[in-house]
Amino acid sequence: MRRATIYSIAENLGVSPSTVSRAFSRPEMVKQSVREQILDTARELGYTPNRAARGLATGRTGVIGMLVPDVENPFFPPLIRAVQDAAREKDAELLLIDSELSASAEQELVARIRPQVDGLIIASARLPSKQLHDVLQGVPAVIVNRAVRSLPAVVCDNTAALQDLAQQLRGHGHSRFALLRGPSASWAATSRARAVRSWAESAGVELVELGPFEAQFEDGRAAAQQIIDADATAVFAFDDLMAAGVIAGLSERGERVPADRSIVGCDDVLLARTMTPGLTTVAAPFTELGRASVEVLSEAISGGPARTVTLPGTTVMRGTVGPPR
């Protein structure tokens, strides 16, 4: 059987070889319906594009780099999957790097992988803004889960959802709240704390702020005694993993959730849906975050202007909230 080429695909569909080539190398330049026909025909004929040859012709690798701070944190696997799926739709591969919660490692890793990729997606970047600008000079990039001036970004705004949950807790009769702040270098932690703090001020309720804590189970577990000492009956944890730790720590001290205290997490990762009782939380739109990240990065690679995409979180009521004892 003759090997399939862009020419045989073009002949089969009655389009030019250059259109077939652009469908793989510059998909944004080909009408979607035409590209879908080309991709379907390519699969039928067993055609596989030569990525090395394409790179020589276009100056692109066909690879997107993605840097995350902690691949073990349950927030990142669904985000990584969403980015990978979106990248695959653009015929791009994903190179995943874990900085292991180190800002200095972020800088070194970006410098190391930038020659190997067409662009970078950096999730929850920990580098200070100036260093982030410096290290990304000359490389297309998008920052996820953090807004940085003049850099493309995709963020989730949980303000409305967190404040809606706070109001529901107040409706249950809670009047003393605890806020477990997330990592001090985290943009998301600052944003979430601001949302809860502004609501508490406007609602006239007591708010005790604890932390900052790392986004880890053990930090939540260790915070349980501080919550008890603060006599807060409703708790906002930075994320679901921390919330799970809080519940474990309270249980070890003979307290029940939600009979004794109500707990709210954030992100709606798999853990939140599988624990007992199910965790009340704010759901992050992972699929949309991944798709938007790849789209904004594609624009940056093509030389488009920097823009920020903001997506809303949504409330998810489960079994960890109820009236105070």
The predicted-structure confidence for 221-257, as pLDDT tens digits, reads as follows 999 999 999 999 999 999 999 999 999 999 999 999 9
* 190 and 296 share one domain: no
Residue 194 has φ and ψ, to the nearest 5°, of -60, -40
Max distance between CA atoms of the chain, in angstroms, equals 76
CATH number at residue 190: 3.40.50.2300
* Whole-angstrom distance, CA of residue 323 vs CA of residue 236: 15
Final residue in a domain of this structure, among 35, 58, 81: 58
Q: 324 lies in a domain? A: no
Q: Is the pLDDT of residue 186 over 70?
A: yes
Count of structural domains, the chain: 3
pLDDT at 53: 52
* 77 and 102 share one domain: yes
Which residue segment(s) compose the domain that 122 sits in?
63-155+286-311
Q: 316 lies in a domain? A: no
* Whole-angstrom distance, CA of residue 303 vs CA of residue 290: 20
Nearest Cα to Cα of residue 103 among 130, 66, 153, 69: 69
* 170 and 280 share one domain: yes
Burial level of 130, CB count in 10 A (0-12/13-18/19+)? exposed
Q: 167 lies in a domain? A: yes
Q: Which residue is listed with tokens 């601001």?
A: 194
* 259 and 176 share one domain: yes
pTM over 0.75: yes
Q: How far is CA 113 from the centre of its chain?
A: 21
Q: Is the pLDDT of residue 204 over 70?
A: yes
* 20 and 40 share one domain: yes
Q: Is the pLDDT of residue 1 over 50?
A: no
Q: 318 lies in a domain? A: no
* 19 and 78 share one domain: no
CATH number at residue 38: 1.10.260.40
* Whole-angstrom distance, CA of residue 263 vs CA of residue 294: 34
Q: Is the pLDDT of residue 100 over 90?
A: no
* Burial 30-56, CB ≥16 within 10 A → b, else e: beeeebebbbebbeeeebebebeebee
